[in-house]
Structure 1
């Protein structure tokens, strides 16, 4: 168990992660929904495509101590930030791959139980390519912040015959202190799509 987060539950506060200016992170409340959608087992093999700063990578790796998390990130500086965050939480079950999906998928450890796709360009192409690497019973979870991408992913899910599809668009507000007042600040909305591959 990582001393920085000595709990078995997910939901690590955002400030415990190393961050870079201008690089957004998946907020804690959204990560909780993402982790729930993945339905991870202790020995799960997870690909996180477009892993960003690695916040979900850390949460998932802590929940899968006998498993492996592969974090794919195209930006070398951001990929190094994932490594730094994994070191902060003393994780040894994460492999960071500098590359761009879908081009690098054939080089990853095969047969992931779960694939997480976090935003990015060419989403439909990445979803289709990742789907073909999932074994029967595998789960696919995709996030996007735009309505246009939501439509494209939903169409792709239908074409691929993704089963048990769920689509969630949470509205989350956080209490913050501004001067002498407390106000609720909205977290940027995100669409969360998930489903299973059942052959």
Structure 2
């Protein structure tokens, strides 16, 4: 289905459910780049939603171990469906509420992608405890409150090499007889490393 060795699978190729967020292609590319995966990394994707990050990472790093955490049973099924669609075999889907379910995960991560959840500060703090030394965490924020909470949380945890990037992506769309640029909702991507 995706025959290329680069990230950036078109959004329309993923199975979707109404109301379930999907990280847009251009944002996924930034997220994947920020993770700085190794071929054998262990990645926890907390709040995996549609499963776009696990699918893309699974294709790029087939030896990696990927755990997709999602609290909703139907959405977890969607992640499995997308993994099947793209023939990704190295993703384990966990149905559970973060941070409570994190203690039960077997492999401890050297990479964490935090894409949502409440309370975000508590999830960040708990996920950080499981992150291996020299590990990397990235988190997304779509509003000022979460940006502040995550930024303060990374600072309080003494994360190193903190970076914050705001995406500003426009896509060419056809509207009626005209082509116009439409903005993709901006998102903040925060990242930091553990000593």
TM-score (structure 1 length as normaliser): 0.96
Find out whether 1:144 has 2:141 as its counterpart: yes
CA distance in 2, matches of 1:147, 1:120: 15
The alignment partner of 2:100 has SS state of coil
Residue matched to 2:76: 79
Work out which of the residue numbers 106, 109, 112 in structure 1 matches 2:109. Answer: 112
1:119–1:145 CA contact under 8 A, matched in 2:
no
- Size of the aligned set, in residue pairs, is 195
Find out whether 1:6 has 2:20 as its counterpart: no
Give runs of aligned pairs for residues 15-34 of structure 1, distance below 5 A.
15-34=12-31
Find out whether 1:62 has 2:48 as its counterpart: no
Q: CA deviation at 1:110?
A: 2.8
* Cα deviations by residue, 1:36-83 (Å, 9 ceiling, x for unpaired): 000011111100000001011101111111111100000100000000
Q: CA deviation at 1:23?
A: 1.3
Work out which of the residue numbers 142, 166, 181 in structure 2 matches 1:169. Answer: 166
Work out which of the residue numbers 80, 97, 100 in structure 2 matches 1:100. Answer: 97
Which consecutive unaligned segments of at least 5 residues does structure 1 have?
none
Work out which of the residue numbers 137, 150, 154 in structure 2 matches 1:153. Answer: 150
Which consecutive unaligned segments of at least 5 residues does structure 2 have?
none
1:47–1:70 CA contact under 8 A, matched in 2:
yes
The alignment partner of 1:79 has SS state of helix
CA distance in 2, matches of 1:11, 1:89: 13
1:110–1:133 CA contact under 8 A, matched in 2:
no
Runs of 4+ in 1 over 6 A off after TM superposition: none
* Cα deviations by residue, 1:136-183 (Å, 9 ceiling, x for unpaired): 110000001010111111111111000000001111110001121101
Q: What do you get for the CA RMSD once the two structures are aligned?
A: 0.7
CA distance in 2, matches of 1:181, 1:81: 35
